[in-house]
Every structure is written in structure tokens, then in C-alpha cells.
Amino acid sequence: MMSEKIISIFGLIFVTSYVAKYVGPNIYGQIAFATSLFQIVQIVSQMGSDVIIFKRLSKNNSSGIKLINETSFIRGVVYIFISIPIVFWSIESENNYSLYFIVACCLSCFFTSLDVYSVYYDARLESKKNVFVNVLGLIVSLFLRWGIAVFKLDPVFLSIPIIFTGMFPYFFRMYLFRKNLGIRASNKKNKFKYIRFLIASGSSFVISSISVAIYTRVSLLLLGFFCGSSLLGIYSVAVSLATSWIFVCNSFITSNLPSIFSSNNELETIKITAKLNILVILIGCVVISFAIIGGHYGISLLYGKDYVLAYTPFVILCAATLFSSLGTIASRFIAKYSGYSYLSKKAFCVLILSIMLNVIFINLWGIIGAAIATLATEFISLTLLNYLFKGGIVLKLHAYKIFYRG
């Protein structure tokens, strides 16, 4: 996992920045818009199947494998059904590049929507296979992007690594899966039985998954809609840089989850979680300080003068990333007390809030408004919307964090 993140950051710093400098903010923004759009379609088409399949595999491996095989069809159908209108709408676009990137992202996310084989390896505690496939695909994709920029090929060739990013992991994992297990789809009766099970079981996860998928991309989509591809390209650079360090916080959060969930004492749980909050805040403060001091120079050096407007949103979004990490801790804390239904309803409320704030702030302040809207959404999600749960137990957690001394 760590190797994958390190390669991703290396690619972001050297390869992605080089490509972004070569194609310019306009084309880079078109790619960002298309990617965000079809990532949402991808999550909708999966219908919560990743959670359902993981649970089924944990309890009954054979049944879980059959569920993977039998439900691929419905995921593909849902994805195609939603994607076709988007692609046809894009055909009307005056910019040919946009259409190429729309189709490329559509194909890439189509393969990713079908790729639930990664869930199988995670559930079977064989995540090293996922890491190997992801790292190999990432390296090849970065190499292709770098080659296109170095040899100054037509930017339309970037469609190739975009498609490869989703296609390679899917076919590689599918090959390993079928080679080792050799299980094939059974009769139509069983296929429809598993499809009905997926729809019935996944419905409770769909609204929450869709809400999270959209609200985390609202600023990108609305900025592209209101302000055009160039500003979107600049903003997407700010987003990529501002969220590149979140894996550090996530690693600490993941390593502390067992002690949080195993504790049977409420005060002890609050104490452990408060310590984790403090650690994440310290990491965030260090990152934000570096962003303020060296962000402008770093963006200018890596991405060029066309992207220097990303500096202010970058700093603001670093703070938003900190709140997001703290929000992840709060969500796990709520899950400890079986607040899954609350989290699902909260996700929908956050989506509505995010849309409202982005529409207002983007129209007022453009690219900076999008960053402020994201920051405000993450802060309200972390605080007010969490404080309503179980008599304000998250408020107690945050108060304990403030006054914690040992």
C-alpha cells in the first residue's frame, strides 16, 4: 500500500505536473471534468456491491465468488445505461478534445466498475496482489503520459493511458481470479437470484455511496460548468496537491481502529480517539505551514506560471483535507456505536449543503469560492452534522480533545 502511494506522489510531482504543463489548464481541466463525471457513474453502477461482496466472502467464500461472477452483468448494464446519454450529450460539444477524453474516461471507469476482483483479494487477506497490480498499472500509465509529453505528441493520445488505468488492473485481476478458481457463471435462474440479492442488499448503501461520490466532486463539476475548463484545470491541480498527503493520516487512522472498536469503555474510547485527533491535527498543521511557505514557488516550478492561481485554493484545500481526515475519525467513532443509518442520512445532507455552498461561492469568488465551499462543507460535516448523533457524543470527543492534557 505504501509503495503504491509513494509512486502516486512521485507521479503527481514529476509526471503529472510535466503533462499538465505541456497540455495547459484548458485540456487538463477537460480531463479532470470527464474523470469526475464518470467516477460518479462508476460508483452508482456498483450499487454498494463492494461492501456486499466483502461481507459475503468473509462468511462464505464459495458463495461470494459466485456473487462476483453472477452480478458482473448488472453492473455493466447499469453503467452503460447511465453513460450513453452522457456520451451522446458530449458529441454535441464543439471541442473535439473533450469528446475524446469523455470516451476515454467512460471506458476506463467502465472497467473499474466491473473490477470487484480487488474486493476478493482484500477479503481473502491477499491485498499484496492488489498492490502489485495497481503499482504495475500505475507505473506503465505514468510512463505513457510522460512519453506523450516528452515527445510532444497530440494531447489526444493521453486517452490511451486514461483507458489503460482502468483496463489493465481489471483484466489482470480477472485473469488471476479465473486462472486460480476457474469458476464460471451458472444458469440464468441463479444469475437472477444473485442480482435480486445484490439490488435488495445494496440499496441501503447506494444513497450514501452516491452522496459521498458526488459531494466530494461537486466543486470540480460546478466549477467546470460555471467557469470553464481552464479554471477547472488550475483548481484540479490544487485539489491533487492538497489531498496528496491524506494517506499519511489514513495510515494512522487505520492502525488505531482496532483499539477504538475493541474498547468497551466510553471514556476510554473517547480518550483513544482524542489522541488520534491530536496526532492528525499536528500532521495537518505541519503540511499547511509548508503549503503557505513554499506552495507558490512549488506550483510555479512544477506546473508553470499558467497554474500559479492554484496557490490560494491549494492552501485552503489543505485545511479542508485536515477537516476531512478528522471527519473520517468521527465517522469511525460513530460507526463504533452502530450509527450507520445516521451516517447515510448525514451523507445526503452534506451533499445538499455542498451543492448550495458551491453554487453560491463559485458565482461570487470563482476558483477561490470553490475551495472555500469545500472547506466550509468539511467543517460543518465534521462539527454540526456530527454533534446531532447520540446526545452529542462527538461534541464530547472534540471537547475532550481541546482540554486533553495527558
- Indicate the pTM of the whole model: 0.88
CA pseudo-torsion sign 220, 223, 225, 229: negative
User: Can you tell me the distance from the alpha carbon of 375 to that of 354, in angstroms, rounded to the nearest whole number?
Assistant: 10
What percent of the chain shows pLDDT beyond 90?
49
Residues whose CB is less than 8 angstroms from the CB of residue 319 and which lie 6 or more positions away in sequence, other chains included: 284, 288, 375
pLDDT tier, 66 (very low <50, low <70, confident <90, very high otherwise): confident
Provide the angle, in degrees to the nearest 10, between the axes of the packed helices 17-46 and 127-150: 140
Structural contact between residues 71 and 198, judged by C-beta atoms closer than 8 angstroms: yes
Buried b / exposed e over 184-194, threshold 16 CB at 10 Å, is eeeeeeebeeb
DSSP assignment of 271-323 equals HHHHHHHHHHHHHHHHHHHHHHHHHHHHHHHHH-GGGGGGHHHHHHHHHHHHH
Instruction: Give kind and range of the element (H or E) at residue 7.
Output: helix 2-10
CA dihedral (367, 370, 374, 380) in degrees, to 10, reads: 130
Residue that wins the pLDDT comparison between 336 and 317: 317
The pLDDT of 123-150, averaged and rounded, is 88
C-alpha gyration radius of the chain:
22
Indicate whether 29 pLDDT > 90: yes
Q: Hey, what's the torsion of the CAs at 147, 149, 152, 153, to 10 degrees?
A: 70
269 closest CA partner among 109, 393, 98 = 393
pLDDT of residue 95: 63
CA distance 146 to 152: 10
Q: What is the pLDDT of residue 340?
A: 78
Mean pLDDT of all residues in 248-264: 81
Interatomic CA distance for residues 303 and 19, integer angstroms: 9
Average pLDDT on 360-371 reads 97
Residue 53 scores a pLDDT above 90: no
Give the mean pLDDT of 112-125: 84
Q: How confident is the model at residue 304 (pLDDT cuts 50, 70, 90)?
A: very high
Instruction: Give the pLDDT band of residue 104 (cuts 50, 70, 90).
Output: very high
Q: Mean pLDDT of all residues in the chain?
A: 86
Domain ranges of the chain: 2-210, 229-403
Could you tell me if 266 and 57 are in contact, meaning their C-beta atoms sit under 8 angstroms apart? no
Side chain identity, residue 344: S
Query: Percentage of the chain surpassing pLDDT 70?
Result: 90
pLDDT, greater one: 96 or 242 = 242
What are the residues whose beta carbons fall under 8 Å from the beta carbon of 406, sequence distance 6 or more?
Answer: none
pLDDT of the residue at 38: 94
Distances from the Cα of 199 to the Cα of 6, 12, 75, 99, 302, angstroms: 37, 37, 10, 32, 46
Check pLDDT > 90 for residue 82. yes
